Amino acid sequence: MQGNVRWIDINMLSLAQGRETDQVILAIDTHGADINALTTDRRPRTVLMIAIENNDKILFDALLARNPDLSVKDWLGYTALEHAARKGKYEFVVALLTHGAPASDDALRGAAVGLHTETVRELLYFGADPNIRASVSPYCNRKQSNQTLIDMIRSEGRGESTPERAKREGIVYMLENPPPLSYVLK
């Protein structure tokens, strides 16, 4: 947790939670609020993460234009990209990757477990490693702890309906056949 959070930072973060986009930008531009400050509640996170949670594309784009630190982590150790990937928020994921966020293992794992096909594809195009292990994931149980992500996704979903099964099979195919390095955008 960050120390020395100023009142303007707390005000900016509470405005973000209340979806007051114009006021948040004013707090940053005019009053010097820290764009990377963490909230002081039970679930510390940045204003960028709040914009993703609230699906606030206007605030999100305004914050990205001000170059936030994309490596800042929330209370669970997730970055803004990992938040967006876990929730399958494709537009946010693409914007973060294009803005320089690294395609992390946790982002790929979260998108794959959530069956977010487009997000998985985009993360693979940006160089995420499909051969990661599940051992450090909050998404896996003890039995899955040393499986590859491909094996974990393949083994889940017994008794799923046809659309979910098709998504799962599509994700496994993408993980087994990642784009060639010449297609990877870096």
Q: How many domains does the chain have?
A: 2
**CA pair distance 108, 119, nearest whole angstrom:** 8
- Residues 58 and 97 placed together within one structural domain of the fold: no
Taking alpha carbons only, the member of 43, 44, 54, 52 closest to residue 9 is: 44
* pLDDT of residue 55 exceeding 50: yes
Contact 127, 113 (CB under 8 A): no
Task: Tell whether 116 and 184 lie within a shared domain.
Answer: yes
Q: Does residue 50 sit in helix, strand or coil? A: helix
User: Do 84 and 26 have their domain in common?
Assistant: no
Could you tell me if 43 and 83 lie in one domain? no
Domain boundary pick from 45, 77, 109: 77
Q: How many residues would you count in the chain? A: 186
pLDDT of residue 166: 86
Quote the DSSP letter at residue 140.
Answer: -
Same-domain pairing of 62 and 91: no
Cα gap 81→186, rounded to integer Å: 16
6 shares a domain with 42: yes
- 97 and 174 in one domain? yes
Q: How confident is the model at residue 136 (pLDDT cuts 50, 70, 90)?
A: low
Provide mean pLDDT across the span 114-129.
Answer: 92
User: What pLDDT is stored for residue 157 in this prediction?
Assistant: 65
Residue where a domain stops, chosen among 77, 101, 120 = 77
Per-residue pLDDT at 1: 40
Two structure tokens written together for 38 = 């963490």
d(CA 153, CA 92): 23
In DSSP terms, 79 is beta-bridged to none
135 and 122 fall within a common domain: yes
- Asked if 116 and 170 sit in the same domain, the reply is yes
Of 48, 54, 2, nearest to 25 (Cα)? 48
Residue of higher predicted confidence among 5 and 122: 122
Of 30, 45, 77, the residue that ends a domain is 77
Q: Which residue has the higher pLDDT, 114 or 5?
A: 114
User: Does one domain contain both 49 and 91?
Assistant: no
Is the pLDDT confidence value at 143 over 70? no
Give the pLDDT score at 155. Answer: 77
Distance CA 109, CA 136 (A): 10
Please report which confidence band the pLDDT of residue 168 belongs to, taking 50, 70 and 90 as the band edges. Answer: confident
Angle between helix axes 117-125 and 90-98 (nearest 10 degrees) is 10
Asked whether the predicted pLDDT for residue 29 surpasses 60, the reply is yes
Can you give the CATH number for the domain in which 90 is found? 1.25.40.20
Unique residue bearing structure tokens 């946790």: 106
Domain that holds residue 147: 78-186
Q: Give the residue carrying structure tokens 């293992």.
A: 105
**Do residue 7 and residue 73 come from a single domain?**
yes
CB 68 within 8 A of CB 46: yes
What's the whole-number mean pLDDT along residues 142-157?
73
Q: Note whether 73 and 17 are same-domain residues.
A: yes
